[in-house]
Each structure stands twice: as structure tokens, then as C-alpha cells.
A = this chain, B = another copy of it.
Amino acid sequence: MRLVSEDEITAAERRLAGRVVHTPLLPCPRLGDDLGLPLAVKAENLQHTGSFKTRGALNALLALVERDTPPTGLVAYSAGNHAAAVAYAGHTSGLPTVVCMPTRAVSTKVTTVRRYGAEVLLTDDLVATARGLAAERGWHLLEPFDHPDVIAGAATVGREILAAGPAPDLVLVPVGGGGLISGIAAALRSASPRTRIVGVEPAGANVVSYALRTAGGTPPDRPASVADGLAAPFAGRHTLAHVRALVDAVVEIPEESILPAWAELLDATKLLVEPSAAVGLAALRAGLVETAPATRTVLVLSGGNVAPATLATLG
């Protein structure tokens, strides 16, 4: 399987310039002191639509236009952040968009998708319904993570981390289907060979580490995690190839470690993130990633679209 190249990442940077937020890499002295290492967060919760997904969706759409195959409409399936990202991409490009979301999707995520004018179709047969709609209407199905253009879009997160200063020693990345870590690894691996790139998966949504352990197998049970944004039903073929070739490790964290890390992150950084974004801190707190007092560490905060019911657990 071909990996995303430096040129593809550079092309994504060019397409996305001025269209996505160059999110800040924020130092976290208080949390870093507490953990005993220099810590910063890449705040993709501050991205348009509240997650990094906007980068991949927009890059995939703009690449289609650039290659003279502009779509006449967009179709997506997603429980949340990719849905909003595709709705946003459709909105900014004036394309009609339909998004298939699960019937039990977080209500605020449905609201966000509708805010950008997309049609929402609630179904529990996401993939088949989306494929059927795309075929029927002749619209383009924008893949949630397993596509080189989506990975190249996510890679611009890695380029921005490199542009912010000396490359970190360790980058911790939440892993769902693997698109974000594939992109970040594609951007960082050759530019900074000594940076450790570690993915973090919840025990309840571990398709990537399961696939790594079982030569590409898919877990028998449907994913179910308090980190709802990471509950991808399968690891991608493209993403698995990137993870195998470029990523140092993918660790699994206990479900019960996620909400405490999430609450700590809110309190210490004052950034509103979703539980998925806290898995990197959970891995550090659980001692699953080796660090030293000099390990300059970046936590990638993948998104900020937290369910109100989750926020209410803090009361």
C-alpha cells in the first residue's frame, strides 16, 4: 500500500491555507509540572466544526475539484465529527450534502451538521445507506478516514506542529480509524526521525491495535467507548499501512481512565475537549508510555464536540 508523500501533504497545505484554522500549540505549564515533563497541546478543538476532521474532508473535496472531477453533491456517514466536517465542506463549496448518522447520535452533533445546511438521515445501517444514496444521486461519498486525501489533510496537523518550533520528543495521538495518526506520522516521520509517535485507543474501541495484533482482523464486538469519537467500526487499509510503517506504538487504555483524564484536562488547560481528546493524557497517567523529565511531549486534542450529558457528569 502506497503511503502519503511529502508532496501530497504540501499540496494539502496549499489547498487548506486560509480555509482551516492554524490551531495554536499551547504550552501547558501546570499540567506539565504535575506530570514532570514539558507539555504542550495541539488544540484541534479550536478548528472549524470543532475537530481536525475539517482538514481531511476539505482537502479531499478540493483535490477532486483540482483533478477536474468536481462532485455535484456530497455524501458521508459518521457519528459526529466527520459528519460536521463534510457538512462544512459542502456548505463552503455550495454543494448539497447528505449525512447518514446513527439513530443514537449525540443531539448536539446532529444540530451542528444541520447548522451547515446538510440533510441528516438517521439510520443504523450507515455504510450501506450512504453508498446507496451516493449511487442513486450520483454524489461523491467522502470517506471518513481511509483515503490518501483525507490522511494528507490530517497530516497538516503534523506540519503545523513542526512549524511551531523544535520537533517534540513524543506525540500522543487519539486513534479511531487511524486517519489522524496516519497523517501526523506521514508529516513527522522523515522530518523528525527521533520523535516517538504513539497512538492511543480506548479498550472499548480498539480496531487498530486489534488489527495490528491479528494481521488485519476486526474485533468481534461493535466498538463502544465513552470516547464516542473514536468508535470506528474497522481500521482502514490505508491507515493500517501508515501505522505499521510509521508509528512507534499504539497503546490501549482502560475505559475507566478516560473521563478522569478528560476532567483533569478541562480543569488544567481550560480547553473544552471531547473525551476522545483526553486519551493521550489518560495513557500518560496510566504509565503506558515511557517518559523522562526531559521528554518534550505534545498531546493532540482531536476535537471539542462534547455531549452535554458528559459535561453534566462534572457537577
Give the interface of A toward B (CB within 8 A): 21, 24, 26-27, 29-30, 45-46, 48, 50, 108, 266-267, 269-273, 304, 308-309, 311-315
Contacts and interface: CB of A to CB of B under 8 A. Distances in A.
A314 B309 CA distance: 7
A24 B43 CA distance: 12
Q: How many copies does the complex hold?
A: 2
Contacts of A48: 29-30
A266 B266 CA distance: 12
Contacts of A266: 272
Contacts of A315: 308-309, 311-313, 315
A259 to B, nearest CB: 13
Contacts of A271: 46, 270-272
A270 to B, nearest CB: 3
Contacts of A314: 308, 311-312
Contact of A270 (B29, B50, B308, B309): B50
A267 B266 CA distance: 14
B270 A46 contact: yes
13 contacts: A24-B24, A29-B48, A46-B269, A46-B271, A108-B267, A266-B272, A269-B272, A270-B271, A271-B272, A309-B315, A311-B312, A312-B313, A312-B315
Contacts of A304: 270
Given A308-B314, A311-B315, A312-B315, 17 more contacts: A24-B24, A26-B46, A29-B48, A45-B270, A46-B269, A46-B270, A266-B272, A269-B272, A271-B271, A309-B315, A311-B311, A311-B312, A311-B314, A312-B313, A312-B314, A313-B315, A315-B315
Contacts of A273: 270
A304 B267 CA distance: 9
Contacts of A30: 48
Contacts of A270: 45-46, 50, 271-273, 304
Contacts of A269: 46, 272
A273 B269 CA distance: 11
Contacts of A29: 48
A314 B307 CA distance: 9
Contacts of A313: 312, 315
A313 B311 CA distance: 9
